[in-house]
Amino acid sequence: MATSEEIREERRAAARDRREMRMLLKRGGGSDAWGYVLFVAWVGALFYFVQHSDGTFWNVILAFLKACVWPALVMFNVLGALGIH
């Protein structure tokens, strides 16, 4: 059973974590540059998949969906190659 001092310390740590998270969210957390990089990568993937489709409506829609999920497929393959999955 946890002592009252341990419980207080856990609460302090949780409050500190919440403050740090608010500060990161307030200043952007450095996500501006990564957001730009990911957006450019997504646009590049979209152009790639649209160029390799035959141009019909549903194949362009499928290319759009592929561009949306390709980062997840890349991470899955990278983690699989590293043996982490």
Tokens standing for 78?
Answer: 């990278």
Yes or no: say if 67 and 42 are a contact pair by the CB < 8 Å rule.
yes
What's the pTM? 0.55
**Dist. CA 14–CA 4, nearest whole Å:** 15
Identify the domain containing residue 19 by its residue range.
Answer: 4-82
Find, among 37, 38, 67, the residue nearest to 50 by Cα: 67
Segment-wise mean pLDDT, segments of 10 residues, the chain, 85 residues: 81 85 69 78 92 94 93 88 84
Domain count across the chain: 1
What is the predicted pLDDT for the residue at 85? 65
Yes or no: say if 29 and 15 are a contact pair by the CB < 8 Å rule.
no
What is the predicted pLDDT for the residue at 54? 93
What is the predicted pLDDT for the residue at 65? 94
Give the rounded distance of the alpha carbon of 12 from its chain centre: 29
